[in-house]
Structure 1
Amino acid sequence: MVAEFPFAEQTSNELSFKERDERYERLHDWPDPTYLHSSGLRMIWKYDDVRDVLEAADPALSNGNSLDPLVGFPRIAGTPRAIPHFFRHLVPLPAKATANLTDDTLHKQVWDTMAGPAGHFTISRDERPQRVEAMVEHFHHALHGLDEGVVSRLDVTALSIAYAARVGGAAVGLPSADWPQVAVWSGAQSGLLGRRMRGRELAEAVGALGQLFTVSGRAVERSRRHRVTGFASRLHDAGVPRRVAVSAMANSLAAGVHTVSGSIQQGVQRLLSDPGREWWDLLADQNTAAQVAVKVLQLDPGLVAWKRRAVRPMTLRSGTELAAGPVLVMFAAANRDPAAFRNPLDLRGGGKLPLTFGFGKHVCPGKQLANLAVEVFLRELRELAPRARLSEEVASANTRKPDLLFSGADVTLTV
């Protein structure tokens, strides 16, 4: 009897951390290095293959499809309710900016502005205390914005999303009045990238994505008209074209919220499921808290996979053969490859560089910001509720929708 491929029917987003652990382990025992998923994406998960395809240094590999909707543009064009949103906000189509930009010269120009030595998202040692203080403030503002009032039960999922939206909105210079909507807009792009949407849901996602680009465009215009110092002005001063700047802002907002919040949700689920609370208690110390955050982002990232395209049949350096077509690069799985990490579930197990944020010239420009955002949230949560327990009311992730790219968890605490 042939065993079923571990991720043939369910995605990480539908599984608890224990189920993910078990399936990732089975995945690395699968006899073949690739799997053609029903979505049409060819899955890869071996560390060396994932690293090479994420880097996309070989001309046979392209990152140009990274932000294409999973259902395809024809499906959107064939959804009547989506068409008004599409033409109102997304025509002409947004420019490529970071993840899907194939012009190497322009890509380097944008990336350096975002994450170079003096980039907007680069956090120097001297700047770190100020960034931490701002994120702590975002945590408590998000906490006070919840409906619970007296905190005896805490919805970590809602809190993490509100927090990540504030951090992301502030980082790109979006007006604070727009921050509450950032999570909705971000969820729209995330859903379009990794989910098979249809009908009303698809139309609403297109509308929300359109709002994200419209608001980003207004922020860019405001910055240029009034010379507001921030992300948009840095892009302008670097000579980045306006349309590319708008996309860079929109993409940064969309990528940050659910990557950060999903990592927090799944990380808290793992930390508080340990009877000994070893990792949870390490959050009380700043040095060890950073180690825990890095490990959470390795094992339980909110973004679990990314897309690339093989423009022609090719053979990777490992010998793995790829047919021409779209590829789903499962870096959360690669972060557990026993060939790269002898004991990935050990906090101090060592191994190669985790691939959560990509590799080579396509490393996520918000890597430092995301790492620090996860660390600060976990530390503040541990300080707020050191004896918190997972609520038994949310025992599994079975109600979550399938998503090939993004993953999270429904986490409520009793404090």
Structure 2
Amino acid sequence: MIGRQDVAVVEFPFETLTCNEISFAERDERYRLLHEWPEPTYRHPSGLRMIWKYADVREVLDAATPGLSNANSLDPLVGYARIVATPRAIPHFVRHLVPPPAKATANLTDDRLHKRVWNTMAGPSGHFTISPGDRPHRAAAMVEHFHDAVRDSGYRPGTHLDVTALSMTYAARTCGAAVGLPESDWPHVAAWSGAQSGLLGRVMRGRELADAVAALGWLFTVSGRAVREGRGSAATGFARRLRDAGLSHRIAVSAMANSLAAGVHTVSGSIQQGVQRLLTDPDRAWWDLLADPEGSGRVAAKILQLDPGLVAWKRHVKTPVVLRSGTRLPAGPVLVMFAAANRDPEAFPDCSDLQGTGKLPLTFGFGRHVCPGKSMATLAVEVFLRQLRELAPEAELVPEASRTTRRSDLLFSGADITITW
């Protein structure tokens, strides 16, 4: 582990390890060292150029500067050529993903169409927009999903509770219900969403790559079925909203599939890492604040700043660019490390202080590409943490449950968390 005594070590803090493989304490230290790195960019062995300074991350996430593009945001890390060259993956690709999915949200470069899709999802009356008046109703539904997830887990008083599995079931239920996916598909949503997430941030080969393509294919196939059924429904669900906005079937399917994939892993990963941080504190200061409605909101917001389940995103530099800060980016793919930017001391003088001041955290993006599910994901994390604190106020981490080896992942991060009380 890199520690304070190792400041002189020249290895880049994230040269060989990703956030998904380390605890929150080691992640904190590596982020600290990252912001002491002498250069503002680093070419990672993956081929992605990493950036982490707040000003640079904000500008590149927005992708409004000439030369910057978001077109590669949902491209698999290994590239499409690797998928085509994997015999086991081809049948799944042909069955489920031909013609290829349309660009709909994160990777849509047509500004007018992007705005229409985004407004349908998160405009003033968008599907994922949560107004103050609607918040109690949405929160109550999430509380039900939490308790249903506990029931589905088979948990019995006096036994250990697998928070990692619980958070994924909860996130799948919450996101599946939000987009109008049939309840019978909810148990599979986490695995299907994990396939898309894994393809984006992990290097896969062989059977693992083929299995991920198959699961991704099912995510789009089931989303397509839900869109077809929802478009003809009298109820104003997600598919109906997309239809009323005049969006094509292919774009509607991609919008649904992408919302599921991003939502499940952002929500569940943030919960897992957040619980690890909250329960490691011997004073339980933030954990106990969850009993207070106002306090729980502050804690959830801080967790989403420090420990988001989605830690980075991709952009592409079409031609060499000089950012407003003076940072130079050569042409090629960029890994935008917004979880690191959320700790930049120039933007957040004391990022670990719950009452600390600072700029807007970049967990959900910035500008025209801000995540349309931001308010829903934030509420989902808050509700889960509050309900877990109510269910198990004296919870303790089970140390041996966190010793499993987690996979390298450049984009998504979580933790293996089991509690007892």
Q: Could you say which TM-score interval applies, normalised by the shorter chain?
A: over 0.9
Partners of 2:371 and 2:16 in 1: CA distance: 29
Partner of 1:235: helix, strand, or coil?
helix
Out of 98, 102, 107, the position equivalent to 1:100 is 107
User: Offset of 1:152 from its aligned partner?
Assistant: 2.8
* Percentage of matched positions with identical amino acids: 72
1:411 and 2:417 correspond? yes
Asked whether the equivalents of residues 233 and 240 of structure 2 are also in contact (C-alpha less than 8 Å), the reply is no
1:221 and 2:228 correspond? yes
Q: Give 2:157's aligned residue.
A: 150
Q: Give 2:3's aligned residue.
A: none
Q: Which runs of 4+ in 1 moved over 6 A?
A: none
Partner of 2:401: helix, strand, or coil?
coil
The 1:184–1:151 alpha-carbon spacing in structure 2 relative to 1, beyond 3 Å, is farther
**Aligned pairs for 1:15-26 within 5 A:** 15-26=22-33
What is the aligned residue count? 414
Partners of 1:141 and 1:412 in 2: CA distance: 18
User: Offset of 1:227 from its aligned partner?
Assistant: 3.8
Asked whether the equivalents of residues 222 and 228 of structure 1 are also in contact (C-alpha less than 8 Å), the reply is no
Partners of 1:238 and 1:286 in 2: CA distance: 36
1:164 and 2:171 correspond? yes
Q: Give 2:406's aligned residue.
A: 400
Q: Give 2:330's aligned residue.
A: 323
Q: Give 2:123's aligned residue.
A: 116
1:343 and 2:355 correspond? no
1:382 and 2:389 correspond? yes
What per-residue deviation string (whole Å, max 9, x for no partner) do you get for residues 142-165 of structure 1? 000113333531110000000000
Partner of 1:394: helix, strand, or coil?
helix
Partners of 1:328 and 1:377 in 2: CA distance: 30
Moved more, 219-228 or 346-355: 219-228
What per-residue deviation string (whole Å, max 9, x for no partner) do you get for residues 150-203 of structure 1? 353111000000000000000000010100010010000000000001111100
Asked whether the equivalents of residues 194 and 261 of structure 2 are also in contact (C-alpha less than 8 Å), the reply is yes
1:291 and 2:298 correspond? yes
The 1:283–1:2 alpha-carbon spacing in structure 2 relative to 1, beyond 3 Å, is closer
Q: Give 1:11's aligned residue.
A: 18
Partner of 2:400: helix, strand, or coil?
coil
1:53 and 2:60 correspond? yes
The one-letter code sitting in structure 2 at the alignment partner of 1:401 is R
Partners of 1:223 and 1:86 in 2: CA distance: 25
Partners of 1:174 and 1:229 in 2: CA distance: 14
User: Offset of 1:395 from its aligned partner?
Assistant: 4.2
Partners of 2:94 and 2:158 in 1: CA distance: 44
1:238 and 2:245 correspond? yes
Cα RMSD after superposing both structures: 0.9
Partner of 2:315: helix, strand, or coil?
strand
What per-residue deviation string (whole Å, max 9, x for no partner) do you get for residues 266-323 of structure 1? 0000000000000000000000100000000000000000000000011000000000
Q: Give TM-score, length-normalised by structure 1.
A: 0.99
Out of 51, 61, 69, the position equivalent to 1:62 is 69
Out of 189, 194, 199, the position equivalent to 1:192 is 199
Partner of 2:214: helix, strand, or coil?
helix
Asked whether the equivalents of residues 142 and 163 of structure 1 are also in contact (C-alpha less than 8 Å), the reply is yes
User: Offset of 1:226 from its aligned partner?
Assistant: 3.7
User: Offset of 1:32 from its aligned partner?
Assistant: 0.3
What per-residue deviation string (whole Å, max 9, x for no partner) do you get for residues 237-282 of structure 1? 0111111000000000000001000000000000000000000000
User: Offset of 1:350 from its aligned partner?
Assistant: 1.2
Asked whether the equivalents of residues 230 and 240 of structure 2 are also in contact (C-alpha less than 8 Å), the reply is yes
The one-letter code sitting in structure 2 at the alignment partner of 1:414 is T
What stretches of structure 1 of length at least 5 have no aligned partner?
none
Partners of 1:44 and 1:157 in 2: CA distance: 29
The one-letter code sitting in structure 2 at the alignment partner of 1:93 is P
The one-letter code sitting in structure 1 at the alignment partner of 2:285 is E
Asked whether the equivalents of residues 263 and 297 of structure 1 are also in contact (C-alpha less than 8 Å), the reply is yes
Partners of 1:317 and 1:295 in 2: CA distance: 28
Q: Give 2:4's aligned residue.
A: none
The 1:115–1:181 alpha-carbon spacing in structure 2 relative to 1, beyond 3 Å, is same
The one-letter code sitting in structure 2 at the alignment partner of 1:406 is F
**Aligned pairs for 1:250-289 within 5 A:** 250-289=257-296
What stretches of structure 2 of length at least 5 have no aligned partner?
1-7
